[in-house]
Amino acid sequence: MTQTDFQNLINRVMTDEVFAKSLADNPTETLKGIGVEATPEMLDALKDVDANSLKHLAATFGDDRAAL
């Protein structure tokens, strides 16, 4: 995944509630739907994460701050 792809993913999570929920509920299919093949590490990171947590994390990256 390129930096641009990652930023696009972050922007979409922040602006598209349905996408954020879909990513939280079914990350493999959601990422596949946008042309991203999920790695085992990506799927592990998304396991048990809800849409609100994804939006919070995306906002952190969106503010050009390191995720804590």
Cβ burial of 23 (10 Å; 0-12, 13-18, 19+) is buried
Report how far residue 17's alpha carbon sits from residue 52's, in angstroms, rounded to the nearest whole number: 9
The pLDDT, as a whole number, for residue 58 is 79
- Residue 5 token pair: 């792809």
pLDDT of 67 > 80? The answer is: no
DSSP H helices in the chain: 3-15, 17-25, 27-33, 40-46, 51-62
SS3 state of residue 39: coil
The pLDDT, as a whole number, for residue 60 is 80
In tens, the pLDDT along 3-61 reads 788 888 888 888 898 999 999 899 999 999 999 888 899 888 888 888 888 888 778 87
Contacts of 50 (CB under 8 A, 6+ apart): 24
